[in-house]
Amino acid sequence: MTETQPPAPKPPAPVPWDQPATLIDLDGTAPLIAPLHDCVRHFAALNAAAKADARILLTQPIPRLTRRTRTWLIGPEEIAALGEPPAKG
The residue segments making up the domain with residue 36 are: 20-83
Residue 40 neighbours by CB distance under 10 Å: 23
Phi first, then psi: give them for residue 34, nearest 5 degrees.
-165, 175
In a domain, 15, yes or no: no
Counted domains in the chain: 1
In a domain, 1, yes or no: no
In a domain, 30, yes or no: yes
What whole-number distance in Å separates Cα of residue 2 and Cα of residue 21? 46
What whole-number distance in Å separates Cα of residue 71 and Cα of residue 54? 16
Q: How many residues are recorded in the chain? A: 89
The kind and range of the H/E element at 36 are helix 36-44
pLDDT at 20 over 60: yes
Reported as a single tens digit per residue, the pLDDT across 33-82 is: 999 999 999 999 999 999 999 999 999 988 877 778 888 999 999 899 88
